[in-house]
Amino acid sequence: MSSPLSDMEIKTLVGTLRAALPKGQEAFPLHEPEFRGREWEYVKSCLDDGWVSSVGAFVDRFEQDLADKCGVKHAIATVNGTAALHAALMAIGVVANDEVFVPALTFVATANAVAHAGAVAHFVDCDTQRLGVDVPKLAEYLEEIAIRDGEGPHGPIYRNRNTGRVLRAVMPMHVFGVPMDIQPLVDLATQYGMVIVEDAAEALGSTYRRQPVGSFGAASALSFNGNKIITTGGGGAVLTNSEELAKRVRHLCTTAKRAHPWLYEHDCIGYNYRMPNINAALGCAQLEQLDTRIKLKKKLAGVYEKALEGFPGVQVLRAPDDSSSNHWLNAIVLRPGTSSEQRDQVLLALNEAGLSCRPVWNLMHTLPMFADNPRMDLSCAEGMAMRIINMPSSSYLAEVAHDA
């Protein structure tokens, strides 16, 4: 087991990272929204025209622009990323008491969406390189717990031999914008008759084998919260290549209201999940800046990497050569064997120096509402959670950052 960073090493680390960031700025938030395009113009047009609610030209435009950017046929804008995940799960046919494989190392929205659908999140481990689902380990686990129970309309049906529940879907997450190794997961899910819904909330603009993430599953979800790479204030989107799924998602997100000039006819339980036009206007302006923003964030990641060259026991998380990250949040990874107390010492020193850094989220199985959920061995996720620290990652920092 490696030794933790000493007090002197922590001091040197803080000084090194602080020196790499712009001079004259006292505090560095983790990730700030940036409005440097046509946001005022587009939002004002909504106010001038009176189209501020859930219909309007900017909703249609934002959805088409997203679909084009993400390499899919359909995008449905929603009120937030959690709503997008929930709607996608409902649309693919997840029902009460199904099991959905979810990373233990993810934001709580991933697991919450499964619970909202009445299903059960089954937690799986991550790898150390990408922080995504450890596919080989999951394959071994499925050999142990999955039993075949006939054929369904879309392939074989498997159940969990320990719980009897149908293994319905897998919801991988692209952590901090780093694409997981998703093609092997697609192959594994197909083998077991499971549907993939990608949680691409953090990964708009990231690619895997030159293909945009969010285009590999039956459906996927994006988030445009205020801290994301682009923002609509609050918002999300469902992506899919299936016209049938797109129609189903759109229907569910619009209170399941059937089209009629004046009657209020609803044919199933629906949700008021559609994104308002005024938010979509903000999104259109933000999306126009995405490519430039990714270039700046990539430059900032390079600044961090250069600053930490040769620093013992600390490395910058980076995407493998087959992938391209949007660098939503830069992360440093401390030495193996680091404890939460040792990590928190580093966090305290960084925050006292004005760098608003944070650890990764509490692992899902450690939260009280998910403590009894089924899970595989999570030793890698548990170890990585002690080692990860997110760094200030706003794209404007790259414009004035200093090479260490």
The confidence score (pLDDT) of residue 52 equals: 87
Give per-residue pLDDT as tens, 215-249.
Answer: 999 999 999 999 999 999 999 999 999 999 999 99
Q: Which two tokens stand for residue 206?
A: 């990231």
How confident is the prediction for the chain on average, in pLDDT? 95
The CATH number of the structural domain formed by 7-32+290-400 is 3.90.1150.10
Domain regions of the chain by residue span: 7-32+290-400, 39-287
The confidence score (pLDDT) of residue 154 equals: 72
376: left (phi over 0), alpha (psi -120 to 50) or beta: beta
**pLDDT over 60 (residue 297):** yes
% of the chain with per-residue pLDDT over 90: 92
% of the chain with per-residue pLDDT over 70: 98
What is the full DSSP assignment across 50-68? T--SS-SHHHHHHHHHHHH
**pLDDT over 90 (residue 256):** yes
Rounded average pLDDT over 47-66: 92
The confidence score (pLDDT) of residue 137 equals: 98
d(CA 63, CA 58): 8
Please name the residue that has the structure tokens 């594994």: 188
The CATH number of the structural domain formed by 39-287 is 3.40.640.10
Sheet of 167-170, strand order: 74-78, 236-240, 219-223, 195-199, 167-170, 99-103, 120-124
**pLDDT over 80 (residue 402):** no
**pLDDT over 60 (residue 396):** yes
Give per-residue pLDDT as tens, 167-202.
Answer: 999 999 999 999 999 999 999 999 999 999 999 999
Higher pLDDT, 313 or 341: 341
Could you tell me how far CA 173 lies from the centroid of its own chain?
Answer: 5
Q: Is 334 exposed, middle or buried (0-12, 13-18, 19+ CB in 10 A)?
A: buried
Beta bridge partners of 78: 236, 274
